[in-house]
Structure 1
């Protein structure tokens, strides 16, 4: 087979390498072309050198090109994969820093909440530019695979306004299933069968079977509470399981910021999170991790390049959906996964226009969703709160409507639990002004926002959050890595 895959945001070096090696685990794909594009020439050069080394080491005919000209990369592409972060870590830092001034403590801030909503405002105009290029220069019927957060908002915009065949992809379901299999004592995650459905980052394991045996709430709660690690790291997630009756796919830290109950007061935050790793609820945890990862990669790049000389091992193919979807579409080897698509009747008790995440099967005929799923009422209610925020956020981003943007933030579950309307109005003004360079749709609204800020009397505070850690230096990371290696 010979076709072209374009990767937008290919400067996400580690993730691009994973996608690349996964795809090349499919024997029929050795003769394809990868077209890498990114706004950073520096990152592009690094990832291209790594991928070229992989191709050379494995003696493959695979072609790799790299360009900052996105339209050139997309020309003739059958598949387009996006893993962009618009505004980079600079804008992301404001997504965490500014809401903290108003008492809003986020762990990740990339899905909803104040940070995720502003992230969507930065991404959506760019997503629509991608879609325009795809319609005009990509192969007829090209498929857009979106890995970028905020998943639901980006996918919603691409489908509804970009008019491109789009699917959103995430690995939360797989990771949640691996946890459940482990606590139940399975020898392999493959022993666990499940139906998992909802919206991205709020997906629910509504049916579980271990080697064909149904698993109920009580057994699952007991298994998690008995686990020596997860009982400490996933306290909030286990509490939701007890109350809702089903387990959520999302990590302790992620889930905590989508709900109005656990991060509303500093003492509550420290009660429900675990500081053994950022993903369990640390304030700004993913921002810290991302910053350290970037610094580490820049410093240790020669080692990453050397590691690229190893043969590709199909046994180590990851459970990221992209390679499996492409394999099913091109070879007709059927793949079952969980995909982000427009609802259209897939989940009976969520809105038709919402972007849902639910089981589907892929073959030559495309992605075929399993329809007619009904969520437990509490799960549907929690998803609905986020869907309403996502819908308003998408519409605000398309129209450049700052008033609708403020209403979207006001209706966010965690923001509403912490902040007053006056605080929300000022916080949004402050975030839009701080991020103006990435928000072209709000250009006309910026002067008035600045004027309001100059006269505002809403008090703020400089607050690091309830559980903030400093970014570790390269030396500290090396020392910790050495200590772990010695202990292991």
Structure 2
């Protein structure tokens, strides 16, 4: 087989390498072309060097190109994969820093809440530019695979406004299933069958079978509470399991910021989170992790390049959906996964226009969703709160309506639990002004926003959050890795 895959945001080096090696685990795909594109020439050259090394070491005919000209990369592509973070870590730092001034403490801030909504405002205009290129120069009928957050908002915009065949892909379901299999004592996650349904980052394991035996709430709660690690790292997640009756795909930190109950007071935050790793609720945890990862890669690049000389091992193919979807579409080998698509009745008790995440099957005829799923009422209520925020956020991002943007932020569950309307109005003005270079749709709203900020009446505070850690140096990271290796 010979076709072209364009990867936008290919400078996300570790993730691009994973997608690349996964796809080349499919024997029929050795003759395809990968077209890498990114705003950073520096990152592009690093990832191209790594991928070229993989191709050379495995004696493959695979073609790898790299260009900062996105349209050129997309030209003739059958598949376009997006891994972009518009504004990079600079804008992301504002997503965390500014809401903290108003008492809003986020762990990740990439889905909803103040940070995730502004992240969507930056991404959506660019996503629509990608869609325009796909419609005009990609192979007819090209499929857009979106890995970028905020997943639901980006996918919603691409389908509703971009008019491109789009599917959103995430790995939260797979990671949740691995946890459940572990606490239940399974030898492999393959022993676990499940239906997981909801919206991205709020997906729920509504049916669990271990070797065919149905697993109920009480057994799952007992298993998690008995686990020596998860019982401490996932306290909030276990509490939600007890109250809702089903387990969420998302980590302690992620889940905490989609709900109005656990992060609204500093003393509550420290009660529910765990500081053993960023993902369990640390203030700005993913920002710190992302910063350290970037710094580490820059410093340790020679070691990463050397590791690229190892043979591709199909047994180590990851559970990221992209390669399996392409394999299903191109070879007709059926793949079952969980995909982000427009609802249209797939989940009976969520809005038709929402982007849902639910089971589907892939073969040569496309992605075929399992329809008629009904999720528990409490799960649906929680999802609908987020869907309403997502809908307003998407429409604000497309129209440049700053008033609608403020209403979207006001209706966010965690923001609403912490901030007053007056605080929200000022916070959004501050975030839009700080990120103006990435928000072209709000250009006309900026003068008035700046004027309002010059006469700001809401008092803010200099607050690092309830559980903030400093970014570690390369030396600290190296020492930590050496200690772990020695302990093993």
Q: TM-score, normalised by structure 2?
A: 1.00
Cα deviation code 1:222-276 (max 9, x no counterpart): 0000000000000000000000000000000000000000000000000000000
Q: CA separation in 1, counterparts of 2:110 and 2:319?
A: 22
Cα deviation code 1:282-313 (max 9, x no counterpart): 00000000000000000000000000000000
Q: CA separation in 1, counterparts of 2:177 and 2:83?
A: 23
5 Å-filtered alignment, 1:375-454, equals 375-454=375-454
Residues 1:210 and 2:178 are matched in the alignment: no
- Secondary structure of 2:48's match? helix
Q: CA separation in 1, counterparts of 2:44 and 2:12?
A: 9
- Secondary structure of 2:352's match? coil
Q: CA separation in 1, counterparts of 2:218 and 2:46?
A: 50
Cα deviation code 1:88-130 (max 9, x no counterpart): 0000000000000000000000000000000000000000000
- Secondary structure of 1:362's match? strand
Q: CA separation in 2, counterparts of 1:456 and 1:109?
A: 25
Residues 1:277 and 2:284 are matched in the alignment: no
1:337 Cα offset (Å):
0.1
2:95 is matched with 95
Cα deviation code 1:433-456 (max 9, x no counterpart): 000000000000001000000001
Residues 1:455 and 2:467 are matched in the alignment: no
Q: CA separation in 1, counterparts of 2:198 and 2:84?
A: 24
Q: CA separation in 2, counterparts of 1:487 and 1:53?
A: 32
Q: CA separation in 1, counterparts of 2:11 and 2:455?
A: 41
Q: CA separation in 2, counterparts of 1:115 and 1:359?
A: 28
Q: CA separation in 1, counterparts of 2:401 and 2:201?
A: 26
1:416 Cα offset (Å):
0.1
Q: CA separation in 1, counterparts of 2:478 and 2:446?
A: 44
Count of residues paired in the alignment:
488
Q: CA separation in 2, counterparts of 1:109 and 1:447?
A: 27
1:354 Cα offset (Å):
0.1
1:307 is matched with 307
Cα deviation code 1:366-412 (max 9, x no counterpart): 00000000010000000000000000000000000000000000000
Q: CA separation in 1, counterparts of 2:448 and 2:480?
A: 49
Q: CA separation in 1, counterparts of 2:87 and 2:343?
A: 30
Q: CA separation in 2, counterparts of 1:37 and 1:476?
A: 32
Q: CA separation in 2, counterparts of 1:399 and 1:49?
A: 40
Q: CA separation in 1, counterparts of 2:456 and 2:285?
A: 30
1:215 Cα offset (Å):
0.2
Q: CA separation in 2, counterparts of 1:482 and 1:265?
A: 37
Cα deviation code 1:192-215 (max 9, x no counterpart): 000000000000000000000000
Cα deviation code 1:406-435 (max 9, x no counterpart): 000000000000000000000000000000
1:462 Cα offset (Å):
0.4
1:476 is matched with 476
Q: CA separation in 2, counterparts of 1:143 and 1:396?
A: 26
- Secondary structure of 1:463's match? coil
Runs (4 or more) in structure 1 with deviation over 6 Å come to none
1:73 Cα offset (Å):
0.2
Q: CA separation in 2, counterparts of 1:256 and 1:172?
A: 15
- Secondary structure of 2:231's match? helix
1:218 Cα offset (Å):
0.2
Q: CA separation in 2, counterparts of 1:245 and 1:28?
A: 43
Q: CA separation in 2, counterparts of 1:242 and 1:125?
A: 40
5 Å-filtered alignment, 1:42-81, equals 42-81=42-81
Cα deviation code 1:152-184 (max 9, x no counterpart): 000000000000000000000000000000000
RMSD: 0.2
1:461 Cα offset (Å):
0.1
Q: CA separation in 1, counterparts of 2:474 and 2:375?
A: 45
1:486 Cα offset (Å):
0.4
- Secondary structure of 1:144's match? strand
Q: CA separation in 2, counterparts of 1:419 and 1:35?
A: 45
- Secondary structure of 2:319's match? coil
Q: TM-score, normalised by structure 1?
A: 1.00
Structure 1: tracts of 5 or more residues without a match:
none
1:135 Cα offset (Å):
0.1
- Secondary structure of 1:337's match? strand
Q: CA separation in 2, counterparts of 1:59 and 1:479?
A: 36
Q: CA separation in 2, counterparts of 1:2 and 1:161?
A: 30
Q: CA separation in 2, counterparts of 1:340 and 1:476?
A: 38
Q: CA separation in 2, counterparts of 1:455 and 1:252?
A: 39
Cα deviation code 1:39-65 (max 9, x no counterpart): 000000000000000000000000000
- Secondary structure of 2:469's match? coil
- Secondary structure of 1:204's match? strand
- Secondary structure of 1:367's match? strand
Q: CA separation in 2, counterparts of 1:128 and 1:476?
A: 41
